[in-house]
Amino acid sequence: MRAGHPFAKDRSLRGYCAQRHLVVSQSGDPSGFADVALARRNLTRQVSLTVPNFHFALAILSDSDLVAAMPRQFVARYGARHGVVAVDAPLPLRRFRLHVVAPKVALMDAGLSWLVKSLEQAARTPAPRLV
């Protein structure tokens, strides 16, 4: 959410559901992992916008009253540039796994090899605690 967002004062589950949400989805599907967690509690949220990537999401969040569930490390790294802050969600959200599938010959490419090693290192790095 943008810095100074009203949700920062009422971070309850009820307050979360009352917000207008942005979902990052390459396919445009407005349902995400947060909806699964809410459905387990017979709750819903209002998804107002979907965007195809997290950088675009930060730009939209910075100039709106939308909120979004995003990777903690991504927001920690890039959020401040956009005036976007992160807080822990008021319900447990599942962690996701990233799988890289590539033939051995592809990993001979120095750039791809670097990317895979960087992803592995990021996966081992503990996520920072949020406010």
Q: Where are the domains of the chain?
A: 6-82, 97-131
CATH superfamily of 6-82: Periplasmic binding protein-like II (3.40.190.10)
Residue with tokens 């971070």: 11
User: What pTM did the predictor assign?
Assistant: 0.75
**Residue pLDDT tens, the chain, 131 long:** 999 999 998 899 999 999 999 999 989 899 988 999 999 999 999 999 999 999 999 999 999 999 999 988 889 889 999 999 999 889 888 776 767 888 889 889 999 999 988 888 877 776 555 54
Going through 1-129 in order, the beta strands assigned E by DSSP cover 20-24, 46-51, 67-68
- In order of 29, 34, 101, 117, the CA distances from 23 in angstroms are 8, 9, 26, 28
The reported pLDDT for the residue numbered 127 is: 59
The reported pLDDT for the residue numbered 89 is: 87
Class of residue 69 by CB neighbours under 10 A (exposed 0-12, middle 13-18, buried 19+): buried
